[in-house]
Amino acid sequence: MDFEKLYIDGQWIPGASGQFIEVENPATGEMFAKVPRGNAEDVDRAARAARRALPAWSALPLAERISLMEKFLTIFKSQEEDLIHITIKELGSPYAFTKASQVEYQYVRTRSYIDLSPKVPLVEKMEYSTTYREPVGVIGCITPWNYPLGQVIQKIVPALLMGNTVILKPSQHTPLSSYYLAEAFEKAGFPKGIFNLVTGRGSEVGNALSFHPLVDRISFTGSTSGGIAVGKKALESVKHISLELGGKSPYIILPSENHDYAEPIHLCFNSIFLNSGQTCTAFSRLLIPEEEKGIIEKQLVEIAKEYTVGDPTDHTVKLGPVSSRQQFEKISDYIQKGMDEGARLLTGGLPGSPSKGYYIRPTIFTDVKNDMTIAQDEIFGPVLCVITYKDEEDAVSIANDVRYGLNAGVYGPKEKAIAIAHRIQAGNVYINASPRDTAAPFGGYKESGIGREGGIYGMLEFTQQKALFDTGK
């Protein structure tokens, strides 16, 4: 795969700047690839191509767009081993997690969008009018580094199925897997200009997309501060925006008569520790009943031993490195802050010098107060805050006492858990061991974002309504 070109208007071409951004393997510190440092000229070329392609693509019957997406999915699946390999190298996520969550789950997502797209309510008859949903137009997709395939699929597949054209700017830290997607679109026979790939920095390519007059919508996933900055720029030309942002998600364990908390602890740990905690929906605040504190703490320490850290190519390892030196230093600073604020370490702690790879052990703080920095800020690392609550009212109050509202979980007797879930200010709440549903809407309350991804709701984000008043003579 040639990573040193951009994919614009159906062609692989050099970047206008002639400059490159190196891609680091966080497990070794090796710079092993480079991609073009795109700029406003590249974005302009992509936007013009996407705009030219838009009329024919949006007029194409949905069945024909679905047929092309089916071909894409077949090719996408054939790339599995390459995608696993490149994701491990650019992100450092371990083999088992990469295979299951970073790669194979994206086939499930793509299939879900294909199957649900005919069910999207594109025409709605009213008493005196008919409302139609039409494509928004050219979509600028800005995606993060932590799920380099997943966050891309969540945007480009529904956008294309709904008749929009796309310009993708993947993260500069994990851009390589997107090249395989571009290759799959090309091999599937998508018309030129429908999908365009422009790599580069957010301050250059992201800004250019936000400002460009031919871009109709910005779909952004990343930090809340980054989303606010992008949203402000996009709104200067009154673009549509959707923002999937940060989280500080609570996981409430209700008291158990048998004092066995192994299942909810594993569910919480899988959320906060796998992918080295670099997940926006991670259950980073574990809320436990005050009277069960000692019992649960012992189980936390014992179960944490299962979450091994090491070489991400090792099929038995559960945590690889964090994604970069910058991420390593940020997480280390938060661990130190937690110690300084008086939280007590149950396991883990400050990592040593990253002489080879940016590895951080699963770290659990207890005796955490919800007003501590580590309980309020999105650390985005394998750091869990354990907070006790007195009763259900107190648990709900603590759960909601953050500026985010992306995800949450409640574990306990089902009816009681559901009642508590209804009171939590979050866009998604998991009850006990319920699995994720690709057809469900995904998105947050409060500072966790604007809009929804996933299923029919995610596809509706890429449409706009037109009412025809057609009952007269």
Residue linked to tokens 């700047």: 17
Provide CB contacts within 8 A for 294, sequence distance 6+: none
Nearest to 296 by CA among 406, 223, 230, 384: 384
The Cβ of residue 155 has, within 10 Å, a number of other Cβ atoms equal to 25
Q: Of residues 141, 183, 268, 280, which has the active-site annotation?
A: 280
Amino acid at 315: H
Three-state secondary-structure class, residue 462: coil
Three-state secondary-structure class, residue 24: strand
Cα 390 from Cα 290, distance rounded (Å): 6
Annotation marks residue 280 as catalytic: yes
Signed CA dihedral, 315, 264, 103, 70: sign only: positive
Asked if 251 contacts 424 with a C-beta cutoff of 8 angstroms, the reply is: no
Nearest to 343 by CA among 292, 301, 388, 378: 388
Could you write out the DSSP letters of every residue in 292-318? GHHHHHHHHHHHHTTS-B--TTSTT-S
Provide CB contacts within 8 A for 140, sequence distance 6+: 167, 169, 209, 210, 212, 215, 217, 218, 219
Can you say whether residue 160 is alpha, beta or left, with left for phi > 0 and alpha for psi between -120 and 50 degrees?
Answer: alpha
**H or E element in which residue 13 lies:** strand 11-13
Cα 173 from Cα 183, distance rounded (Å): 20
What phi and psi, each to the nearest 5 degrees, are found at residue 449?
140, 180
Nearest to 348 by CA among 369, 327, 364, 326: 364
Q: Tokens for 267?
A: 């569910």
Rounded alpha-carbon distances, angstroms, from residue 315 to 98, 99, 362: 10, 10, 18
Distance of CA 292 to the CA centre of its chain: 34
DSSP letter, residue 100? I
Q: Of residues 244, 297, 378, 461, which has the active-site annotation?
A: 244
Over the Cα atoms of the chain, what is R_g? 23
Annotation marks residue 22 as catalytic: no
Catalytic residue positions, numbered: 244, 280
